[in-house]
Amino acid sequence: MQQHIPNYLFYIMPMAAGIAFLMSLTIFFQPAKERYLKYFSFFLLANWIVEMVSNYLAMAKINNIMLNNMDTMLVVTFELWLVREIVYRKMAKKVLFYIVVCYPLFSLINIFFIQRGDFHTTSYSLGCLLIVLACIYYFLELFQQNYSVALGRQPGFWICSGLLFYYCCTFPLYGLTKLMAALPVVIMQNLVIILDVLNIFLYLSFSIAFLCRLKTRKSMSSF
């Protein structure tokens, strides 16, 4: 009798995505100078909904490849745009603008004409590489600044840190999706757990990006 991945594993990512969205609502109570954070909050809401739908379809054994293809394409595109909003130099913003425009076009061609019916490993792997390179550039730009900044209070630092760690770790896993489909169920369960843990760290970094900018009251040391 064939074993199946336990259903509880399909609840972890929607829960993590939901928590990140709830943390993002702080942007509407204590506005920040980083305008992209408001758009990021709406993105987290949409991402939370898609996570729930996608995991429900997977749990019900309904084909969700097209949904995952479109979702990952839009997620990568938005995150590239997000890094574009975080970096400072105009040339970098210009390059990332063209990447944001061209990447979804390439992905759509790959999804509908090249890897039709399968997960778009080629375009997704390219997106992972682009995000990693964009985040590395952000850190290089950060280290070259002439003035010091409190990194712990910078939303961009937490966002790029989470993206860099996540995509560096998941790139080989998603890039070998076809090979992993033939693995034993026990190994697949462990891989799903690893992906869930990586997603939790990613959503945690997103949550910190919103919380780190909140001003806390200083306790009075004297009366």
Query: Could you give the CA distance from residue 120 to residue 111 in angstroms, rounded to a whole number?
Result: 6
**Is residue 109 predicted with pLDDT exceeding 90?**
yes
Question: For residue range 127-146, what is the model confidence (pLDDT) as tens digits?
Answer: 999 999 999 999 999 988 88
pLDDT on residue 220:
38
- Average pLDDT of span 199-219: 84
For residues 169 and 135, the answer to whether their CB atoms sit within 8 Å is no
Name the residue among 207, 219, 195, 208 with its Cα closest to residue 51. 195
Q: Report the predicted TM-score, pTM, of the whole model to 2 decimal places.
A: 0.89
pLDDT on residue 180:
61
- In sign, the C-alpha dihedral spanning 180, 196, 73, 71 is positive
Residue ranges in the chain assigned as alpha helix (H): 9-24, 36-59, 65-86, 90-109, 121-143, 155-175, 177-180, 185-211
Question: For residue range 31-66, what is the model confidence (pLDDT) as tens digits?
Answer: 778 889 999 999 999 999 999 999 889 888 888 999
pLDDT confidence tier of residue 191, bands split at 50, 70 and 90? confident
**Is residue 70 predicted with pLDDT exceeding 80?**
yes
